Amino acid sequence: MGSPVPEPADPADFVRTNTAVAAPPLVPEIRLHLASEITPLWHATEASLAHDQLPPPYWAFAWAGGQALARHILDHPQLVRGRAVLDFGSGSGLVAIAAAKAGARVTAAEIDSFAAAAIGLNAALNQADVAIERADVVGREPAPWEIVLAGDMCYERPLAERLTQWLRSLAARGTLVLLGDPGRAYLPAAGLEALARYDVPTSLELEDRLSREGVVWRMLP
C-alpha cells in the first residue's frame, strides 16, 4: 500500500510537494525535483495514482537513457552550442537543461502538464533558459530545430514507431538526431550509430538491475 499523494491543485505545487531536490548520479552538476525514498511519489502505487487521476510520474525520475544523453552533451558542448535544439518527451527536463548549459537554444516538448511544471521548476533551479512546448510536435513540418534529442522514448511500441518514423525523416533532411537509450524494447534495430556508452547507476525500484548501460545513438539518414 503506497503512501497517499496529495490531490493536485496546481501542477507546480504538486511537483514541489511530492519531490525532493537531488542530482542524478551521472550528471551531478544538474539538480532536479525527483521522487526519492523520502517523497510521497516514490511510495505511491500505480493504483493510488490512477484513483487520483494522475498520469504516471515519468518526469519524477532521471532515467538511464536521459542521463547518458545529458552527460554526453555536457562533455561535448560543441555538438549543440549556438544551435536550435528540441528535447522531445523532456520529462524532468534533464536533457534540455544540459543542452541549455552547453549553449544551445532549447525547446522542451512535453504534453504532460505535471512534467511541464517540473521542467519549468528544474530549469529555474539550474538557471537554464528552456522554452516549453506543450503541443504534440511529432510530424511537425518544417521542423524549426537543427538538433532533436530524445532520452528513453522507446519503451512503448506505438509511440516508438511513430516517433522513429518522424525522426528518420528529420535525419534524412540533415537534422542531427540523438537518442539516449539503455536497451528499451522498441529501440530501432537498425539505422543507428553508437556514439558513446555510459554505466548509469540505477535502483531495483526503477529497473531490473543496479546499473544500466546508457547508449547515445545518432540516427542515420
Q: How far apart are CA 171 and CA 38, in angstroms?
A: 42
Encode pLDDT of 131-152 as tens digits: 999 999 999 988 899 999 999 9
Q: Which domains does the chain have, with CATH numbers?
A: 11-60 (no CATH), 64-219 (3.40.50.150)
Helix (H) or strand (E) holding 169: helix 157-172
State the pTM of this model.
Answer: 0.92
With vertex at residue 115, the alpha carbon angle to CA 40 and CA 136, rounded to the nearest 5 degrees, is 150
Encode pLDDT of 195-205 as tens digits: 999 999 998 77
Amino acid (1-letter code) at residue 11: P
Pick from 167, 120, 145, 109: nearest CA to 15: 120
- Report the phi/psi class of residue 130: left, alpha or beta, with left for phi > 0 and alpha for psi in -120 to 50: beta
Kind of pairing between the strands at 192-201 and 211-219: antiparallel
Average the pLDDT over 76-98 and give the result: 98
Pick from 42, 80, 121: nearest CA to 110: 121
Average pLDDT, the chain: 92
Whether residue 149 contacts residue 189, with contact meaning beta carbons closer than 8 Å, is answered with: no
Give the per-residue pLDDT at 170. 96
**pLDDT over 70 (residue 109):** yes
Encode pLDDT of 2-38 as tens digits: 455 655 569 999 999 999 999 999 999 999 999 998 8
